[in-house]
Amino acid sequence: MAPIKNLTGKEVFELVRADLQKVEEEFCLQSVSNVQAITEIGQYLQGSGGKRLRPTLVLLAAKMCGYEGPAAIRLGTVVELIHTATLVHDDVIDAADIRRGRPSTNSRWGNHMSVLAGDWLYMQAFNVALAERNFKILDLLIGLTQVMVEGELLQLNCLKRVDVTEDEYLELAYRKTACLFSACLRVGALLAHKDEEEESLLGTYGVNLGLAFQLIDDVLDFVSSEDVLGKPVGNDLREGKVTLPLIYLLQRCTPEEAQKIARVLKEGGFQSVEFQEVRELLDRYEALQAVRDRAQDLADKAKRCLESFPPSPYKDALRSLPEFIVERES
């Protein structure tokens, strides 16, 4: 059995750096419209950066499965366009002012323009995908988009509720984050014409990786800083979102302490209850550590999905990504 090599995050991204640069160029090309405002917003969004984790997943999966063609670049761009469209719509729904340390599109161009720009990015993503004439991939992406939009609607029904269950939370995390991760891996398998079993294994890897990613995001919302996150800490709770750290806290704390969380939700911010009070409760009841432990379990599940694939640097990279995600600080 070949030894397993654990790569750093930097080494993982370095494996596909040249292709990621091509994804950047394609994104720039595909975000140009004959309507100037669309082009301005698209290029503003591209300039705000991000890890480009989703195109990286497409590229690594395709390469691990033996596909090296240009369609991986185009479909890496497609998933980044879809992801970017969801961020634009999320910011409008959440009335967010900041995204990745810069003014959000809605605070700069207004809600109407931002919603339409997000719609345009979705349509452009499908335009690029359709040109591939791979209907399995198109079916996958259409189903994915429906699931993600349904997730936004479900989240609206869960806002400001202190009785959100862990199962409800995981369903939301799947729809908002993990289903896109899963689709990225499955696109890579489909490009290489892998069988259903291998595609399914990679899809399950993506679900577990995406859930772990979302859980760590929820922890970072309480423990990071605005400089690192690029948005205010405690933002989820301020917006009325009850995430897994709070669900675990509410399962463990006293009714009086639970009332503090309810007050923050009702007031829409840290007014009669300070952020530090909530943070101290999360530490006292070890809720944040419980979420980290759950994320680690999901990361381990993701890694086990790769066992049957032959050794390669790309398998090493995919096997190393869950640890990078669990240990990240932004």
pLDDT tens per residue across span 226-248:
777 777 789 999 999 999 999 99
CB 118 within 8 A of CB 89: yes
What's the structural domain count of the chain?
Answer: 2
Same domain, 163 and 298: yes
The verdict on residue 173 lying in a domain is yes
- From 133, 155, 175, give the residue that closes a domain: 133
- In contact, 84 and 128? CB cutoff 8 Å: no
Asked whether residue 113 is domain-assigned, the answer is: yes
Mark whether 202 and 302 lie in a shared domain: yes
Residue 321 belongs to some domain of the structure: no
Span 11-24, pLDDT tens digits: 999 999 999 999 99
- What pLDDT sits at residue 134? 94
Same domain, 204 and 220: yes
The SS3 call for residue 277 is: helix
DSSP for residue 311: P
Q: Can you say how many angstroms the Cα of residue 171 is from the centroid of all Cα atoms in its chain?
A: 14
Q: Is 271 helix (H, G, I), strand (E, B) or coil?
A: coil
Asked if 229 and 99 count as a contact pair (C-beta separation under 8 A), the reply is no
Could you tell me if residue 320 is inside a domain? no
With a CB cutoff of 8 Å and minimum separation 6, the contacts of 313 are 5, 15
Domain membership of residue 124 (yes or no) is: yes
Radius of gyration of the chain (CA): 20
Residues 151, 87 share a domain: no
Answer with the one of 133, 156, 190 that is the final residue of a domain: 133
Same domain, 63 and 163: no
pLDDT at 100: 80
Q: Could you give the dihedral angle defined by the CA atoms of residues 219, 322, 298 and 183, in that order, rounded to the nearest 10 degrees?
A: 100
75, 145: one domain: no
Are 173 and 83 in the same domain?
Answer: no
**The domain that contains 186 carries what CATH number?**
1.10.600.10
Q: Which domain holds residue 44?
A: 1-133
Count Cβ atoms below 10 Å from residue 13 Cβ, excluding itself.
20
User: Do 167 and 129 belong together in one domain?
Assistant: no
Same domain, 175 and 125: no
297 contact partners, CB below 8 Å, separation of at least 6: none
Euclidean distance between CA atoms 2 and 140, whole angstroms = 33
Residue 41 lies in a domain: yes
Q: What's the pTM value of the predicted model, to 2 decimals?
A: 0.95
Can you give the pLDDT at residue 315?
97
State which of 91, 117, 133 marks the end of a domain: 133
319 domain-assigned: no
CA distance 291 to 259: 22
148 and 101 co-located in one domain: no
- Determine the straight-line distance between the first and last CA of the chain, rounded to whole angstroms: 35
Cα 237 to Cα 210, 251, 263: the distances in Å are 21, 17, 11
Same domain, 99 and 151: no
Give the pLDDT confidence of 25-50 residue by residue, as tens digits.
999 999 999 989 899 998 998 887 77
Per-residue tens of pLDDT for the chain, all 330 residues:
455 678 988 999 999 999 999 999 999 999 999 989 899 998 998 887 778 999 999 999 999 999 999 999 999 999 999 999 999 999 999 888 888 889 999 999 999 999 999 999 999 999 999 999 999 999 999 999 999 999 999 999 999 999 999 999 999 999 999 999 999 999 999 999 999 999 999 999 999 999 999 999 999 999 988 777 777 789 999 999 999 999 999 999 999 999 999 999 999 999 999 999 999 999 999 999 999 999 999 999 999 999 999 999 999 999 999 999 999 987
> Which pLDDT score is estimated for 276?
95
Q: What is the pLDDT of residue 1?
A: 45
Q: Are residues 156 and 281 in the same domain?
A: yes
pLDDT of residue 255: 96
What is d(CA 178, CA 148) in angstroms, rounded to the nearest whole number? 10
Residue 4, pLDDT score? 66
98's enclosing H/E stretch is strand 98-99
Indicate whether 330 belongs to any domain. no
